[in-house]
Chain A
Amino acid sequence: MNPIHPQAEQEAVSALLAGRLTDFCHGLRGRGFRIGVKETLDACRIAGRFMATDYPAFRDGLRSLLCASEEQWRAFGPCFDAFWSRGEQSPPSAPAPMLPDMAGDSAEERARQIAGRDGEAEEGDQEGTLTTGASAAQALRLTDLSLLSAADLRQLERLAERLWRRMSLRLARRLRGHYLASRIDLRRTLRRNISRGGELLELVHAGKKRRKPGLVLLLDVSGSMNQYSLFFLRFAHALQQHFRRVHSFLFSTHLVEVSEVLRGGDLSAALELLSHMSLGWGGGTQIGESLQKLNRDYGDSALRGRPYLIVLSDGWDVGETELLSAELQALRRRVSKIIWLNPLLGMEGYEPLTRGMRTALPWLNVFAPAHNLESLLDIERHLVG
């Protein structure tokens, strides 16, 4: 389709209207709309086309040009009405005094100048806001989860949601590399086609299809661990689609599977339920017994197919160390990787000296902190390859 040509002079708008449109765009920018010079120029074209003949179409046209999301789409109507009805009340007179006199210039040229100036200003502004926004977010990412207020926690959840989605996309891409290696394996191709007298009909591609790994989560919900564990569940939930199947267990004195509770759509409600459930669980943690139950009762379901095992616990164990050691050893044979996350590891000067932790260490593939969002995001690299 033809773009609008410069010769379509009847579509050019008056200098006054161009000024008003530029103001309008500027106002929207202040409300978070992303509008550049090009959009402002297109707005002038739309105005030239519709303004005189069809006011609703002028409005619809600007809306589709300037909005970029449902929220903006809904906010646009009131903004538009407020701005343009105000304009109708004050009769068009001389251009605003702050504008330089540009009587001879074409309206579009003028809009370009005005918009250009605004555009520069916008660039600077945006950079400014982005930096402050980023540093606040950065600080939040580094804050220990147990120290957050309820309001901060909610904000962090939103931030986390976004970051995890990005991360899970990245994960998908990396895994895909294993799936669809499209390089042709020439040697195997030739060999496969010997039976056809060397005619290369069937191609063999390099790389094997790799199945998604499963994931088993063991979350300590005894006293101090509660906050970390429940937040971690959100993280695990965000990753769900990249694993064949996610089995989640809560443990303190005993082990309970909660996969089904989490599988529903409403995660917040599920977490609410779990946090009530786990509140009643006093007493010390018995990691060994819990692992034993996992090995015994879930060997055929959760542990099938060499999943990844993530344990989130501070390692304060009141059970027998022999049992813990034996069960971890058994687990080691059944899963492809044991990742132990310990929130205390984020603390300055912490050494894993508790009995339980010391016993567990030799059997772990990864021992990492998980006390803030940043450290959770860092787990990504342990989940591939």
Chain B
Amino acid sequence: MPPIENTVWLEQRFRAQGYIPEPALLTSLYLQARLARPLLLEGHAGVGKTETAKVLAQVLDTELIRLQCYEGLDANAALYEWNYQKQLLAIKLQEGDARSLADKERHIFGREYLLERPLLRAIGERDAPAVLLIDEVDRADEEFEAFLLELLSEYQVTIPEIGTVRASCVPHVLLTSNRTRELSDALKRRCLYHWIEYPDQEREREIIRARIPEIPDALARQVVGVMQSLRGLNLDKPPGVAESLDWALALLALGKSGLDAAVLEETMGCFLKSNEDFRVLRANMEGILATMPGA
């Protein structure tokens, strides 16, 4: 795996993967690796939090291990579990075997009966550090957060039947949160923090061009113009970059080369997801079209 040399190197690699990062994010990622600390990413929906981890794994040419958090996530689902069925079968097969009881027990609590879940996999035996994405950590409950904190400070876990598993190399840990609840101070202190802002006009256009090279420049400008003014309105769910990309693709598929009120009306379902927001857009349609580039 290529180590992260500096932020310039990172930027080149990220851009090569079609991800146009803000410079500060690169610094955070670089420090994450240098200080071997987890990085907590927050930001509005659709600004590329999860994508950051995916691209980082591609850039470092390593495995992306993803743990999607949800309410009720527990250590069994996140760390490891014994394969009970297999163990029971093994016991059956061993019936009449001459081996001692201790031997048999050692056998059925061996590695081959262990189901590795994401966290154990991330700190398990490997040549290069993996990228561990702990997605939407705010959805898991506080109990799990405490457990996570323990793991992230020592990078080791103890499995009673086997012993302590220690990371041979510390993974790149990225956490994302949508702020549905406050994370504990302890976890926040353990992490570096980065707030991903919506990209500015210039960068958003660059992102669209990078992801959808075949889009005409004029259309990309218009899409970005509309998106930027939409984020200024008081919407229920302001569209993120992901929505810009979806919308741009949709416009291309429909063969549209420019935007007007009719096209917006027809395609607003690509980037707005509620009837209330539709109404806000309709009410502000004129203003948005007037400020759109090339209008």
Q: Interface on A for B, CB 8 Å cutoff?
A: 1-4, 34, 36, 39, 42, 45-46, 49-50, 54, 56-57, 60-61, 63-65, 67-70, 72-74, 165, 169, 172-173, 176, 179-180, 182, 184, 199-201, 203, 265
Other than A4-B34, A60-B27, A199-B92, give 12 A-B pairs with Cβ distance below 8 A: A3-B35, A34-B189, A57-B7, A64-B31, A67-B195, A68-B193, A69-B193, A73-B193, A169-B141, A200-B85, A203-B84, A203-B85
Bound complex: CA of A42 vs CA of B31, how far in Å? 10
* CB-based contact A68/B185 at 8 Å: yes
* CB-based contact A64/B85 at 8 Å: no
* CB-based contact B23/A4 at 8 Å: no
Bound complex: CA of A56 vs CA of B71, how far in Å? 39
* CB-based contact A1/B193 at 8 Å: no
* CB-based contact B27/A34 at 8 Å: no
Residues in B whose Cβ lies below 8 Å from that of A1: 3-4, 33-34, 36, 129, 169-170, 172
Assess whether B55 is interfacial by the CB under 8 Å rule.
Answer: no
Pick from A4, A39, A70, A179: contact of B195, CB under 8 Å: A70
Assess whether B88 is interfacial by the CB under 8 Å rule.
Answer: yes
Residues in B whose Cβ lies below 8 Å from that of A74: 195
Per-residue CB proximity of B33-73 to A under 8 Å, as 1/0?
Answer: 11111011010000000000000000000000000000110
* CB-based contact B89/A199 at 8 Å: yes
Residues in A whose Cβ lies below 8 Å from that of B28: 60-61, 64
Assess whether B159 is interfacial by the CB under 8 Å rule.
Answer: no
Residue of A54, A68, A180, A199 ringed by the most chain B CB atoms within 10 A: A68
Residues in B whose Cβ lies below 8 Å from that of A50: 27
* CB-based contact B193/A67 at 8 Å: yes
* CB-based contact A64/B192 at 8 Å: yes
Per-residue CB proximity of B178-218 to A under 8 Å, as 1/0?
Answer: 01011001001101111100000000000000000000000
Q: Assess A60 versus B23: contact at CB under 8 Å? Given A34-B188, A68-B193, A172-B72.
A: yes
Residues in A whose Cβ lies below 8 Å from that of B30: 61
Residues in B whose Cβ lies below 8 Å from that of A180: 72
Residues in B whose Cβ lies below 8 Å from that of A63: 24
* CB-based contact A64/B39 at 8 Å: yes
Residue of B27, B76, B85 ringed by the most chain A CB atoms within 10 A: B27
Bound complex: CA of A36 vs CA of B72, how far in Å? 32
Residues in A whose Cβ lies below 8 Å from that of B35: 3-4, 42, 45, 65
Per-residue CB proximity of B75-92 to A under 8 Å, as 1/0?
Answer: 010000000110011001
Q: How far is the CB of A145 from chain B (nearest CB, A)?
A: 25
Identify the 5 closest CB pairs spanning chains A and B, nearest first: A60-B24, A60-B27, A68-B188, A73-B195, A64-B28
The chain A residue with its CB closest to the CB of B197 is A73
A-B contacts, 28 of them at CB < 8 A, read: A1-B4, A1-B36, A3-B35, A3-B36, A4-B34, A4-B35, A34-B185, A36-B189, A42-B37, A49-B34, A54-B7, A56-B23, A57-B23, A65-B192, A67-B193, A68-B188, A69-B193, A73-B194, A165-B181, A169-B141, A169-B181, A173-B143, A176-B72, A179-B72, A182-B76, A200-B88, A200-B89, A265-B236
Name the prevailing secondary structure of the A interface residues.
Answer: helix
Residues in A whose Cβ lies below 8 Å from that of B88: 199-201
The chain A residue with its CB closest to the CB of B33 is A1
Q: Assess A70 versus B42: contact at CB under 8 Å? Given A3-B35, A34-B188, A172-B71.
A: yes
* CB-based contact A46/B31 at 8 Å: yes
- How many CB-defined contacts (below 8 Å) exist between A and B? 102
Residues in A whose Cβ lies below 8 Å from that of B193: 64-65, 67-69, 72-73
Bound complex: CA of A182 vs CA of B4, how far in Å? 43
Residues in A whose Cβ lies below 8 Å from that of B89: 199-201
Bound complex: CA of A74 vs CA of B197, how far in Å? 10
Q: How far is the CB of B104 from chain A (nearest CB, A)?
A: 16
Bound complex: CA of A295 vs CA of B85, how far in Å? 50
Bound complex: CA of A203 vs CA of B81, how far in Å? 15
Residues in A whose Cβ lies below 8 Å from that of B182: 69
Assess whether B243 is interfacial by the CB under 8 Å rule.
Answer: no
Q: How far is the CB of A354 from chain B (nearest CB, A)?
A: 41
Bound complex: CA of A172 vs CA of B142, how far in Å? 11
Q: How far is the CB of B127 from chain A (nearest CB, A)?
A: 13
Residues in B whose Cβ lies below 8 Å from that of A45: 34-35
Pick from A2, A57, A64, A169: contact of B142, CB under 8 Å: A169
Q: How far is the CB of B49 from chain A (nearest CB, A)?
A: 13
Pick from B3, B4, B170, B194: contact of A64, CB under 8 Å: B194
Q: Assess A64 versus B34: contact at CB under 8 Å? Given A36-B189, A165-B181, A169-B142.
A: no
* CB-based contact A2/B36 at 8 Å: yes
* CB-based contact B34/A173 at 8 Å: no
Pick from B23, B188, B236: contact of A69, CB under 8 Å: B188
Residues in A whose Cβ lies below 8 Å from that of B7: 54, 57
* CB-based contact A64/B24 at 8 Å: yes
Residue of A46, A54, A73 ringed by the most chain B CB atoms within 10 A: A73
Residue of B7, B39, B185 ringed by the most chain A CB atoms within 10 A: B7
Bound complex: CA of A57 vs CA of B10, how far in Å? 13
